[in-house]
A and B are shown apart, each in its own frame.
Chain A
Amino acid sequence: NAGVTQTPKFQVLKTGQSMTLQCAQDMNHEYMSWYRQDPGMGLRLIHYSVGAGITDQGEVPNGYNVSRSTTEDFPLRLLSAAPSQTSVYFCASSKPGQAQTQYFGPGTRLLVL
């Protein structure tokens, strides 16, 4: 099993550009989520999904869109990148229900100029 994979590993964007951060998992996990990590801010939840076709907002959803057409994939879209979105983005997945271990991907480092 590859676990949780994320692409790209690193990306530089100009303000106003759009891009999609890819996340895939092969563990048949129903729950998937996106976090951003900024220095001194810990991990903040952007969006999450409890299953295919179901998504919901987390703590910091503005400027990001998600969709969940399959169990395996959970892409994160930036429609118009801003410097404030410079961050490290982590995707995570887990089995459904409370108290489940979250498995994190290796992360995508995004720099918006």
Chain B
Amino acid sequence: QSVVTQPPSASGTPGQRVTVSCSGSSSNIGSYSVNWYQQLPGTAPKLLIYNDNQRPSGVPDRFSGSKSGTSASLAISGLQSEDEADYYCAAWDDSLSGWVFGGGTKVTVL
């Protein structure tokens, strides 16, 4: 059981806005920046959002990140079929002295 919690699934129709939550504690999200990774089916994870809300070059601006206290969120606006993937949040954790990943959220486009 991860110390950072995500809902196992989320879904939406094309064009809708979908949000994925990531809940942690003061030893991780509450103190350090959050990164989000996208894992398309059968592929390696890819960095999607870093430092809570920054997008690497090449990531569409329909993806956005935010953080408040010990929770973070990933929002996908204008959902597209190619966004169907698993999404993981991650942060440094003082108790672990290492990185913790959320359990992952499978986003389905209906």
Q: Is chain B a partner of chain A in the same complex?
A: no
Residues of chain A whose beta carbon lies under 8 Å from any beta carbon of chain B: none
